[in-house]
Structure 1
Amino acid sequence: MFGRMQRSEKITMNLLLLILAAIWVIPMVYLVMYSFEGDQWGNYQAVVSLDLFPHFLINSFIVSTSVVLLLLIVVSLAAFGFSKLRFPGDSSVFAICLIGLMIPPVAMLVPLFQTIKSFHWMNTYLSLIGPEVAMSIPFSLLLARNAFDEVPGELLEAAEIDGSNAWGRFVHVMLPLAIPVLTTIGILAFLNSWNQYVLPLVFISKETMLTVTMAPKFFIKEYTSDYHKVFAALVLITIPVVILYIFGQKYMQRGLTSGAIK
């Protein structure tokens, strides 16, 4: 079905990929260059010297790590249930879970605000962790279930014959085989949570509870703004994301293609 690409097709494909790469790289280059204008390294020193910056880093790490752990637990169990455990209405319930893919996160801000306020979660980690996990479930569940569907049922039957119950089959058979897709889900969840801007802006008013994405606003005043330091803060915020992607890209590629071939 898929033949070898001709030389002209390879050249065309490489040119298109270079153009797409340039679209993403050029703004990043301008971001770094602009961050060095003015005080040069002094811009970065001003960001790091900000009294609240360590709090921002710690808060972002706590929130992002908690989101990843909770999401992996919920999604792996749910994907195993939808993929390998049959129950009445399983297809309908799965379709309902995927409805979240069609709802823009911004459209849920008002009901989320009312919910967080009624739970007395304002200015707490839960106000950032709970909504982020809930909004990440639909896409993560779709990826995980497709990957779990690839696992042959004969493996689970063999484990059942050996005396393993449902929990044992999940822990000893499914989880080891699902490491690529679960790693992908974890990386994507960490990136989304680390880069989250709207939720801290809406649910957090206490400065010591803000996340790292709020650091640039401390250099934007009512009448004056030091945009060189703002861009320096944006570069520092991006560094952990870039490092995580560099080390996890091979797992992301394997995880995103899981379930593509039946």
Structure 2
Amino acid sequence: MFGRLQRSEKITMNVALLLLAIIWVVPMVYLVSYSLEGDGGANYGDVLSLKQFPRFLMNSFIVSTSVVVLLLITVSLAAYGFSKLKFPGDASVFAICLIGLMIPPVAMLVPLFQTIKTFHWINTYMSLVGPEVAMVIPFSLLIARNAFDEIPNELLEAAEMDGSGAWGKFVNVILPLAVPVLTTVGILAFLNSWNQYLFPLVFINKEAMLTVTMAPKFFIKEYTSDYHKVFAALVLITIPIVILYIFGQKYMQRGLTSGAIK
């Protein structure tokens, strides 16, 4: 069991957290201040008036939402199987799934490109959704399975006595209790997908299919670049995910600590 923190330990922890906060806040302050230099607020107006910008926003929203939906379906079912439906070799299969945590996305870029090209997904939403879901499954499955392990088996046994099968126990018992961790998985997946730069850069060459992270490059020309507008675009891209985190941080804290204490 954890004991109460001493006063000196609380002060040390708060100072450390303050320093970490400063490290994160200073770049954001610089980003916003630099985006207001030159033409000031007009930089934001120029970004918003970019005719492709609404399309980029819609593409990012479609891709990120699709990633979240597919990921939650896949991870919730897989975590339920690994946690509550024991089968021969389940530990080995789970370990194989976690190998993805050790492989950086860049290392998978060439085989991913060949796969997407084979399926004729170039310049489609699936070229962004499929790889993104595959890349975030290992970590999402890890935290979801740990949370599912916390759910008492007695609840499932009681549901079975009431006539529920495997699917009924999943829908009526597991899912309602797994809302915090699944919300965490969804928020993290949305943030990661929204900020994705590599996949749109490699898999999309059609302007109408680009995502919002590609917007800054429209202000970087071959011989001249307006970096004030680039920074303004970066600020606008950041706003939706900051809002999402503010409203979802309560669930994220609960979800990330699920399975931490047995």
TM range (shorter): over 0.9
| Secondary structure of the structure 1 residue equivalent to 2:123 | coil
**Percent identical:** 84
Structure 1 equivalent of residue 100 of structure 2: 100
Cα deviation, residue 9, structure 1: 1.7
Matched residue, 1:203: 203
Q: Does 1:233 align with 2:204?
A: no
In structure 2, C-alpha distance between the alignment counterparts of 1:234 and 1:72, rounded to whole Å: 28
* 1:135 Cα offset (Å): 0.4
Distance 2:242 2:53 in 1: 19
| Match of residue 163 from structure 2 | 163
Q: Which residue of 1 aligns with 2:58?
A: 58
Deviation at 1:2, TM superposition (A): 2.5
Find the aligned partners of 1:16 and 1:29 in 2 and give their Cα distance.
Answer: 20
CA–CA distance in structure 1, aligned partners of residues 71 and 149 of structure 2: 19
CA distance in 2, matches of 1:83, 1:112: 30
For 1:75-115, what per-residue CA distance to the aligned partner results, in whole angstroms no more than 9, with x for missing partners? Answer: 00000000000111111100000000000111000000000
How big is the shift at 1:10? 1.5
Runs of 4+ in structure 1 deviating by more than 6 angstroms, as ranges, are: none
1:248 and 1:221 mapped to 2: Cα distance?
A: 38
Distance in 1, Cα, partners of 2:9 & 2:157: 46
Partner of 2:40: 40
Q: Which whole-Å CA distance do the structure 1 matches of 2:58 and 2:119 have between them?
A: 24
The offset of 1:8, in angstroms, is: 1.8
1:124-203 equivalences under 5 Å are 124-203=124-203
1:94 and 1:47 map into 2 onto residues whose CA distance is 45
Tell me the residue number matched to 1:28: 28
- 1:217 is aligned to 2:217: yes
Quote the Cα distance in structure 1 between the aligned partners of 2:252 and 2:6: 28
Q: Deviations over 1:38-71 (max 9, x none)?
A: 1111100000000100110000000000000000
- Partner Cα distance (1:4, 1:81) in 2: 38
Q: What displacement does 1:3 show?
A: 2.3
How far apart are the structure 1 equivalents of 2:83 and 2:7? 42
Amino acid aligned to 1:223: Y
TM-score (norm 1): 0.99
Give the corresponding residue for 1:257.
257
- In structure 2, the residue matched to 1:79 is 79
Residue 217 of structure 1: CA displacement?
0.2
Match of 1:122 in 2: 122
What is the identity, as a one-letter code, of the residue corresponding to 1:25? V
SS in 1 for 2:5: coil
Unaligned runs of 5+ in 1: none
Structure 2 unaligned residues grouped into runs of 5+: none
Q: Alpha-carbon deviations, 1:117-160, whole Å to 9, x = none?
A: 01100000000000000001000000110000000001000100
SS in 2 for 1:163: coil
Residue correspondences, number: 262
